[in-house]
Structure 1
Amino acid sequence: MEETEEKQSERLTVEHEPRLPEESVGQRRRRILMQVLMVLGASFGHLGLAVVAAWPNPAIPELQKNNTNIYGTYMSLNHWQLDMLGSLVSLGNLPGTWLWGWLVAKIGRRKSMMLLIFPYSLGWGLVAFASNAPVLLAGRFFHGISIGATFVSASTYIIELPDTSVRGAMAVIPNLVLSCGFILATGLGLGFRWFEIAFMGEFIIVLQVMALLKLPESPSYLAIIDKEDKARVVLKKLRGPSADISQELQDLKNQNQNKIEESLFKVLQDTDTLKSLGIIIVLFFVQNFCGLMVFIVNMTRIFLEAGSTLDEKLSSVLVFLVQAAGNLLACLYLDRFGRKLCLIASLAVMTMCLIVMAVYHHLKDYSEVMDVVAFNGTDFTTAGTVTESIGAMPTWVPLVCLMVYMFTSSVGAGPVPGLLNSEYFPTAVRSQLSGICMVIGSFFNFATLQLFSPLQEALTTAGLYWLYAFISAGGIVFTLACVKETKGRSVG
Structure 2
Amino acid sequence: MTEEAYEIDNLKKKDEDGSGGGKVEDGEEPRGERRARLGRQVWLVLQVAMAYVSLGATLTWPSPAISSLSADNSTLVGTEIVLNSAEKDMTGSLLYLGTLFGAWAAGWVVGKVGRRRSLQFLVVPYVAGWVITGLAPNTPILLIGRFILGVAGGGTTIAGYAFVIELPDVSIRGNMAALPTLGVVFGNLYTVALGYYVPWHYLCFLASFPALIFFISTFFLPESPSFLVIKGRRQQALQLLRRLRGKYANVEEEVSELERRNTLGSAGWRALLERDIIKRIGVVTMLFFLMQMGGNFVIMIYTARILENTGAAMDPDAVTAIVGTLRVAGTMGAVILLDRLGRRYCLIISHAINATCLALLGTYVYLADNAAPDDDTFRNLTWVPTVCVTLALFFCDLGVHPVPFIVSSEYFPTAIRASASSICISAGTIITFVTLQLYSPMQSFLTQAGLYWCYGATSLFGVIFCLVAVIETKGKAVG
Superposition TM-score tier, normalisation by shorter sequence = over 0.9
Q: Specify the alignment match of 1:377 in structure 2.
A: none
Q: Which residue type is aligned with residue 391 of structure 1?
A: R
1:402 aligns with 2:406: no
1:359 is matched with which residue: 360, 363, 366? 363
Aligned length: 457
Quote the Cα distance in structure 2 between the aligned partners of 1:178 and 1:67. 28
Q: Specify the alignment match of 1:315 in structure 2.
A: 319
Q: Which residue type is aligned with residue 208 of structure 1?
A: F
1:390 aligns with 2:378: yes
1:179 aligns with 2:166: no
Q: Over aligned residues, Cα RMSD in angstroms?
A: 1.2
C-alpha distance after superposition, 1:456-482 (max 9, x if no partner): 011110000110011101111111111
Q: Which residue type is aligned with residue 326 of structure 2?
A: V
C-alpha distance after superposition, 1:323-381 (max 9, x if no partner): 110111111111111111111011111110010000011012113xx33xxxxxxxxxx
Q: Which residue type is aligned with residue 447 of structure 2?
A: T
Q: Specify the alignment match of 2:268 in structure 1.
A: 263
- The alignment partner of 2:339 has SS state of helix
Displacement, 1:389? 1.2
Quote the Cα distance in structure 2 between the aligned partners of 1:305 and 1:416. 30
Q: Specify the alignment match of 2:299 in structure 1.
A: 295
Quote the Cα distance in structure 2 between the aligned partners of 1:215 and 1:87. 32
Between stretches 69-78 and 145-154, larger displacement belongs to: 69-78
Quote the Cα distance in structure 1 between the aligned partners of 2:24 and 2:409. 35
Displacement, 1:309? 2.3
**Gaps (5+ residues) in structure 1?**
1-16, 372-383
Superposition misfits of 4+ residues, deviation over 4 angstroms: none
Quote the Cα distance in structure 2 between the aligned partners of 1:110 and 1:20. 34
Q: Specify the alignment match of 1:203 in structure 2.
A: 209
Displacement, 1:263? 3.2
Q: How does 1:145-160 map to 2 (within 5 A)?
A: 145-160=151-166
Quote the Cα distance in structure 1 between the aligned partners of 2:71 and 2:307. 16
CA gap 1:321/1:99 in 2 versus in 1, 3 angstroms: same
Quote the Cα distance in structure 2 between the aligned partners of 1:268 and 1:338. 26
Displacement, 1:73? 2.5
Quote the Cα distance in structure 2 between the aligned partners of 1:331 and 1:456. 34
Q: Specify the alignment match of 2:245 in structure 1.
A: 239
Q: Which residue type is aligned with residue 280 of structure 1?
A: V
C-alpha distance after superposition, 1:168-214 (max 9, x if no partner): 01101111111111111100111111111111222211111110101
C-alpha distance after superposition, 1:250-291 (max 9, x if no partner): 10011001355x430x21221110110110010000001100
Quote the Cα distance in structure 2 between the aligned partners of 1:259 and 1:190. 54
What TM-score does the superposition give when structure 1 sets the normalisation length? Answer: 0.91
Q: Which residue type is aligned with residue 215 of structure 1?
A: L
Kept in 2: contact 1:259–1:429 (CA 8 A): no
Q: Which residue type is aligned with residue 122 of structure 1?
A: A
Q: Specify the alignment match of 1:484 in structure 2.
A: 471
Kept in 1: contact 2:51–2:183 (CA 8 A): no
**Gaps (5+ residues) in structure 2?**
1-22
Displacement, 1:18? 7.1
Displacement, 1:20? 4.6
Kept in 2: contact 1:259–1:428 (CA 8 A): no
Kept in 2: contact 1:350–1:472 (CA 8 A): yes
Displacement, 1:230? 1.1
Quote the Cα distance in structure 2 between the aligned partners of 1:413 and 1:281. 13
Q: Specify the alignment match of 2:13 in structure 1.
A: none
What TM-score does the superposition give when structure 2 sets the normalisation length? Answer: 0.94
Kept in 2: contact 1:256–1:427 (CA 8 A): yes
Quote the Cα distance in structure 2 between the aligned partners of 1:41 and 1:48. 12
Q: Specify the alignment match of 2:72 in structure 1.
A: 66
1:427 aligns with 2:414: yes
